[in-house]
Structure 1
């Protein structure tokens, strides 16, 4: 009886693995069809404390907790006619999404986020296209003591 049970479990496990492999191949092929054109890229992306003449003035990786505003800048290439989103996440939770309609072969955009003083944690911005395909991600830490 135990022998039969082990055989059945083994067969079920093999079937499940084959199904998962088949599904994974189909999913990968489907995702590849959705992927952006190879020349469509995020040429630059960075957090900054200010934007002047459509350009970031500095690059932020860590911010003191007293800083209450941060910008995320992206320089997009060959994405004209597409909708790109900056998805802001704090500690893994989506807190806002800002959409941009890209109107040219080189398009610079930025979004801003107000930060709560004393709030510490990891912020991530994902640059995603209209299908949800991630083109880029950047991370900074807020509330980190200056060294």
Structure 2
């Protein structure tokens, strides 16, 4: 595994539903979960929102996702999207938590884009973790590369 330091940043709030966007009651992750489950990926172990982790000054490159789902029509108001997921672990306060990098493909994503150094991560709820906290992120180098 490749290990990189990452800083927790505020996101758009749509994944968790905190933005209050009426198109996505309960958040996009909650709405998408059943579509991923019927394709074989169970997101129930994870908090229904993303950790936005900046790897700056590093950037990442997608290599070989663990899962890719194409043309997922998860909301009536949104066009179908492509999604990939990558194995990861979040290390915080001496504990390691299994997670997934959540990667909506930019070419099919209609809005809410991330900078090139930010990964969105699905993980269990990590009580006390907040913006500007630093974690270590472990990534499978066969799935996703980190360039510093």
- Confirm or deny a common fold (TM above 0.5): no
Give 1 or 2 for the bigger CA radius of gyration: 1
Structure with greater strand share of residues: 1
Structure with greater helix share of residues: 1
> So what's the TM-score if we normalise by structure 1?
0.30
Per chain length, whose mean CA-contact separation is higher, i.e. which structure has more relative contact order (CA < 8 Å, sep 6+)? 2
> So what's the TM-score if we normalise by structure 2?
0.30
